[in-house]
Amino acid sequence: MCVESAPPPPSRVTRRGVLAGAAALAGTAAALSAAPSMAAAHGRTPGRTAAGSGDLVVEGGTLLDPATGHVTEDAVVVISSGVVRAAGARAKVEIPDDARSLDAHGRWVLPGLVDAHIHLNTAAEAHEAVRNGATSARSGFTNFYQDIAVRELARQAPDLAPRLRAAGVFVTPDLGDTVLADPDLTPLARLKDGVRSAEALRRVVEVNLARGADVIKTRVNERAGMPEQDPLAQVYSYEQLSEVVSAARRGGKGVLCHSYSERGCDDAVRAGIRSLEHGVFVSERTLHDMRRRGTCFTPTLSAIAGLAESSNPVLAERGRMYVPVLKEAVRAAHLMGVPLVAGTDSSGGQIKPIGREVELMHAAGLSALDAIRTATTQAALLLGLQQTVGRLARGFAGDLIVVDGDPLADVSVLKTPLHVVRAGLTL
């Protein structure tokens, strides 16, 4: 069966209806209606501006700038309408007289962290991610466009969800129930071999773009977290991946690719993906190619380590085998200068702290500062947010975390932030 290669209809009614359904599934509409009462219950109303962001002064803490590694003691961060207006030593920062303040004396202050691979299907999951310190994120796909609904929630009520780059639905051979998410995907259910032809691959990408996806997610291998699947089995060829990348590029978007096998990683990188996800058996040759191309590596160490703790013997053995291989790949990538980015691959209602991924990056051989950069400056660059995320400097987003200890001496403090501020609003 053929699928017409014409772009999906740009009907506002179709898009509005599809995304309204996604919002209902994600519970974002209910979260928005409850936002005023939630804010009042948490004492946040006084600092909230009309735009939904906040005014706040964080003072007395030790400020870390991940970009430079510079540390400022007794620092002050001034946030107005959700944006940093000043940050630095107390003597150099003018503090507004009527400012609402957060005392950070004896603590460390860092920019909010970025989780560059997370699956946020509900408003509750999105809120948990923020509370764990991920004030920005990139989706790894959702089955019914829930991440697009979460992105809109974040824009209207930033303290309820991380700033999000949404991926929409997965470009995968078997769409499963995802065909129910969108009338423009339904015809693909009749394809005998699934989403494999150039026309079908383009159609899923184009529908995602029409629904407002910021990035496109695809795969080259089967899944590691499902015991019946072989994560080294390849599901798409270089040519098929190239179709996905080309269709995404025509829409001005990049592609993240779920990859495990050596050949699969190489095919994905050669096809022109923006970032390699998981990448357990990525070869040295492919890492060199990634360095040349500027392809990012999101190893999702915490997700792979989590397999080793599974009660399923197949997954547990898989995790025990994969973790040391992946750590070595991360170490090699870092030494070669491949951009490393932190992502938890959280899903299914279990939201892992992004600080745990930073901790595992450090354990794999990165310095504490370089590990922190994978969840700040480097992740921000991958998401195209380098001018607003990853630092606390004038003009950057008023997103930050306060931790109880020096993260340069002990990165584990990032797993349990004492305070999280999103767009000037304290959670």
What is the reported pLDDT for 24? 74
Name the band, by pLDDT with cuts 50, 70 and 90, for residue 9: low
Position 391 scores a pLDDT of 98
pLDDT at position 98 is: 85
Cβ proximity of 122 and 7 under 8 Å = no
pLDDT of residue 41: 47
133-179: pLDDT as tens digits: 999 999 999 999 999 999 999 999 999 999 999 999 999 999 999 99
Region 310-314: mean pLDDT is 96
pLDDT of residue 375: 98
CATH 3.20.20.140 for domain 113-388: yes
Residue 261 has pLDDT above 80, yes or no: yes
The Cα-based distances of 342 to 35, 149, 173, 240, 305 in angstroms read 29, 23, 27, 27, 14
- Which pTM does this prediction carry? 0.92
Per the model's pLDDT, the better-predicted residue between 39 and 24 turns out to be 24
- pLDDT given for residue 35 in this prediction: 63
CA 377 to chain centre: 13
- Burial readout 217-227 (b: 16 or more C-beta within 10 A, e: otherwise): bbbbbbbbbeb
Among 94-98, 153-157, 241-245, the minimum mean pLDDT is found in 94-98
pLDDT of 374 > 90? The answer is yes
Looking at residue 53, what is its pLDDT?
Answer: 75
Which has the minimum average pLDDT: 20-29, 317-326, 393-402? 20-29
The C-alpha atoms of residue 376 and residue 406 are separated, in whole angstroms, by 16
Residue 21 or residue 312, greater confidence: 312
Q: For the chain, which residues make up each domain, given as ranges?
A: 44-112+390-427, 113-388
Judged against a pLDDT cut of 70, whether residue 6 lies above it is answered with no
CATH class of the domain whose range is 44-112+390-427: mainly beta
Q: Which residues contact 377 (CB under 8 A, 6 or more apart)?
A: 66, 67, 386, 390, 391
How far CA 158 is from CA of 123, 162, 195, 220, in Å, comes to 12, 7, 36, 34
Residue 17 confidence (pLDDT) above 90: no
45-60 average pLDDT score: 73
d(CA 121, CA 400): 24
> What pLDDT, on a 0 to 100 scale, did the predictor assign at position 45?
45
